[in-house]
């Protein structure tokens, strides 16, 4: 399986990432590199004068009304309404809906609530996105609505954003709705349905990778085998969505683990149903529900075929246990 270390899921995301990588002088993906000097990010404050006023309910597009005066130049993160969910910590996978407005020009910017928009999924506090998104959510609770006033150093930097029409000196106001947070050590939980005796067996190890035992004397199946070990009560996974998952994989031939999310930091984000993963994952995960633990037995034709991949020999049948923790 090919991992996707940093996958961003909405049109604005590429702009947010571009601004972040440009300010650090590094190239990300197809973003052109730049020699711009790093920008020192100011520490956020809870309020400043003047401040925009916000109307609308959490979970719906906000109306941002700008005050008469110019922005203070400070990086402001204000909790408009506080949620009752878990606190977002650094490295958590956080899902955020947002509304945005350019304070300097008065122009409304792209919103996740607009037609065709999606929530933004990213890891909090890791520098993936501009500081207005990256650090604003740390320490806040799921269900909170935040008002973020981002001067250039906390937003799009000295280069602005030509894609959004944000100038190099523009201050941007974001209203962030924190929809979900998934810590990296999260796992699926619930009533377990044991697989049949002739299938691989799974031992739960709490916050560690589950143990997969291949049945002795059994030949690997020729077709994809799918077992829902824990049935989650979340929405069904759709093709093209970004998933947050924990997973572990072993080869049928010797039962040896060849990859696990626990080996590289915990829960990972990946896109399903678009050909970026092996076919067994694309076929086996679409239609499952968020919160589920799924075991897939993947024949070579839906895995890596007659080619070796890393420590996986050619023509290997693979067994995965996958926890589906979030889908955006």
Confidence at residue 12, expressed as pLDDT on a 0 to 100 scale: 54
Confidence at residue 39, expressed as pLDDT on a 0 to 100 scale: 56
Whether pLDDT at 17 is above 70: no
Whether pLDDT at 27 is above 50: no
Average pLDDT over residues 293-321: 96
C-beta separation of 159 from 21 below 8 A? no
For the chain, the first-to-last Cα distance in angstroms comes to: 20
The string of pLDDT tens digits covering residues 196-246 is 999 999 999 999 999 999 999 999 999 999 999 999 999 999 999 999 999
Q: Which helix (H) or strand (E) holds 101?
A: strand 93-102
Average pLDDT over residues 148-153: 96
Average pLDDT over residues 144-155: 96
Confidence at residue 20, expressed as pLDDT on a 0 to 100 scale: 41
Mean pLDDT of the chain: 89
Confidence at residue 28, expressed as pLDDT on a 0 to 100 scale: 24
Structure tokens at 43: 């520490």
- Token look-up 């909790």 returns 79
Average pLDDT over residues 24-38: 31
Whether pLDDT at 254 is above 60: yes
Give bridge partners of residue 98 from the DSSP assignment.
Answer: 176
User: CA-CA distance, 267 to 93, in Å (whole number)?
Assistant: 8
Confidence at residue 21, expressed as pLDDT on a 0 to 100 scale: 42
- For residues 314 and 35, the model is more confident at 314
Q: Where are the alpha helices (DSSP H) in the chain?
A: 11-24, 131-134, 279-285
Structure tokens at 166: 């944000």
Listed in sequence order, the residues at least 6 apart from 230 whose beta carbon sits closer than 8 Å to its beta carbon are: 188, 189, 190, 191, 192, 193, 291, 292, 293
Residue closest to 200 by CA, chosen among 248, 272, 236: 248
| Cα atoms in the Cβ-side hemisphere of radius 13 Å centred on 155 | 31
Confidence at residue 2, expressed as pLDDT on a 0 to 100 scale: 44
């Amino acid at each position: 399986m090919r991992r996707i270390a940093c996958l961003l899921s909405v049109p604005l995301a590429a702009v947010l990432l571009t601004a972040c990588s440009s300010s650090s002088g590094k190239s990300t993906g197809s973003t052109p590199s730049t020699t711009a000097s790093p920008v020192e990010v100011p520490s956020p404050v809870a309020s400043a004068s003047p401040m925009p006023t916000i109307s609308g309910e959490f979970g719906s597009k906000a109306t941002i009304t700008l005050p008469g005066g110019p922005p203070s130049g400070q990086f402001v993160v204000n909790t408009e309404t506080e949620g009752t969910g878990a606190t977002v910590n650094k490295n958590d996978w956080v899902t955020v809906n947002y509304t945005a407005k350019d304070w300097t020009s008065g122009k409304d910017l792209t919103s996740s609530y607009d037609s065709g928009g999606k929530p933004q999924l990213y890891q909090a506090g890791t520098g993936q996105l501009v500081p207005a998104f990256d650090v604003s959510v740390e320490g806040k609770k799921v269900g909170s609505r935040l008002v973020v006033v981002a001067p250039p150093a906390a937003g799009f930097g000295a280069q602005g954003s030509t894609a959004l029409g944000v100038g190099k000196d523009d201050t941007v106001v974001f209203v962030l709705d924190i929809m979900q947070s998934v810590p990296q050590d999260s796992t699926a939980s619930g009533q377990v349905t044991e697989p049949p005796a002739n299938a691989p067996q799974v031992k739960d190890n709490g916050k560690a990778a589950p143990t997969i035992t291949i049945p002795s004397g059994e030949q690997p199946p020729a077709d994809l085998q799918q077992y829902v070990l824990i049935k989650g009560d979340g929405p069904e996974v759709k093709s093209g969505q970004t998933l947050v998952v924990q997973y572990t994989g072993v080869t049928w031939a010797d039962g040896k683990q060849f990859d696990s999310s626990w080996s590289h930091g915990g829960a990972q984000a990946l896109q399903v149903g678009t050909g970026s993963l092996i076919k067994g994952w694309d076929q086996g995960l679409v239609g499952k529900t968020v919160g589920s633990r799924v075991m897939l037995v993947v024949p070579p034709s839906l895995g890596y075929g007659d080619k070796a991949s890393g420590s996986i020999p050619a023509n290997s049948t693979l067994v995965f246990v996958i926890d589906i923790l979030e889908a955006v």
